Amino acid sequence: MNAISANLVRFTLALLIAAAVFVYASMVDTMLWDPAFVTGWVLLSVILVLLLFGSRKTVSVLPLGPVRAWTQIHLVLGWVSVAVS
């Protein structure tokens, strides 16, 4: 898989996750709850996972999976956080 198609897959995955968050937030809105509560918790969770990437790089002794997988997750969740915020 070349770099362009890999980026397209990552971006599409991020859009699907963001769309799922927005659909859930709209469902919460129709139930007369506050959708900002849902998107805020999702954004906080995404930011915490993004912060774990820095910890993963500094603590390379623990077998926490390959750095490549962590980088992929970091990229997708970065796009999700942009879309949700």
Each residue's pLDDT tens digit, 27-79: 887 887 887 888 888 889 888 988 888 777 777 777 777 878 888 888 888 88
Helix (H, G, I), strand (E, B) or coil at 64: coil
What is the extent of the structural domain holding 27?
3-84
Phi-psi region of 32 (alpha: psi -120 to 50; beta: other; left: phi over 0): left
Q: What distance in Å separates the CA atoms of residue 8 and residue 2, rounded to the nearest whole number?
A: 10
| pLDDT value of position 75 | 86
Q: What distance in Å separates the CA atoms of residue 47 and residue 52, rounded to the nearest whole number?
A: 9
pTM: 0.69
Q: What distance in Å separates the CA atoms of residue 79 and residue 38, rounded to the nearest whole number?
A: 18
Domain count, the chain: 1
